[in-house]
Amino acid sequence: MNESQSTVTNDVILKVEDLHKSYGDNHVLRGVSLQMQRGETKVIIGPSGTGKSTLLRCINQLSVPDQGRVWLGDKEITSHHENINSIRAEIGFVFQSFNLFTHLNALANVRIGPMKVKGMKKKAATTLAMEELERVGLSDKADAYPAELSGGQQQRVSIARALAMFPQLMLFDEPTSALDPELIGEVLEVMVSLANDGMTMLVVSHEMGFARSVSDEIIFMESGGILEQGPAEDFFTSPKEQRTREFLSKITELYGD
């Protein structure tokens, strides 16, 4: 897709090896493995309940996998030797329900990470926060509280909040699924610009247009495992598996892409 990708050095940011996770009797993740290089954008698609969100949460250990290993760069997240908090500071996570801190305004939301996790001084953190808000197009809303912002604005602030930590990797858990249709665009716009700036992004989404235009690879998950994966263009034009084709046709019916 992007010419520059093929010349990038072998710089593996994320490596996931054989992840398993069950909730009670429900074996949600059945041996998932994947890898991401610096600057890549990958989109995970698939039917609901197939473990896509669980996969993301297992990467930064918000859910602890039952089995399998995860590396960020050369640090093994799943080993007990690593401090999970410092690992999480390197991974940005964007939630479907935004989860902005309701008692803080937009600016405070963005700068609390640098201040309280990285120990930055208030003045420097404020400057940084304003920059990130600028980057997502919301510098004029710095004083607004989450309840005063629209869904799209809240999500953009939450992206800024994640960016302020200068993460190596960003995880997006259905970032636009909770948004009204007319607000989806502004968030996708930000995500596209992030991808173009070279951020390493793993996105779970139903937004096929986004997936098609920006991702390096599409991953199709079903029943807790990766059924098919491949470069975006090939994936959409000639999917290999029957189930993939069924899913895609259903989606294009609904979303029209």
Select the residue interacting with another protein from 2, 37, 99, 223 (CB under 8 A). Answer: 99
| Selection from 42, 69, 47 nearest residue 58 by Cα | 69
Q: Does 116 bind another protein (CB under 8 A)?
A: yes
Select the residue interacting with another protein from 93, 172, 210, 235 (CB under 8 A). Answer: 93
Crossing angle of helices 106-116 and 151-163, in 10° steps, is 20
Q: Does 211 bind another protein (CB under 8 A)?
A: no
| Selection from 62, 61, 11, 1 nearest residue 35 by Cα | 11
Select the residue interacting with another protein from 54, 161, 224, 235 (CB under 8 A). Answer: 161
Distance CA 62, CA 173 (A): 12
| Listed ranges 4-12, 96-104, 224-232, 239-247: which one lies at the site for another protein (CB under 8 A) | 96-104
| Listed ranges 142-150, 193-201, 215-223, 226-234: which one lies at the site for another protein (CB under 8 A) | 142-150
Task: Render the burial of 232-254: b for 16+ CB within 10 Å, e for the rest.
Answer: beebbeebeeeebeebbeeeeee
The least CB distance from residue 27 to another protein, in Å, is: 23
Contacts (Cβ under 8 Å, ≥6 apart) of 164: 110, 111, 113, 114, 125, 128, 129, 132
Q: Does 60 bind another protein (CB under 8 A)?
A: yes
Q: Does 158 bind another protein (CB under 8 A)?
A: yes
Q: Does 140 bind another protein (CB under 8 A)?
A: no
What does the binding site for another protein look like in residue numbers (CB under 8 A)? 60, 62, 85-93, 95, 97, 99-103, 112-113, 116-117, 145-148, 158, 161-162, 165
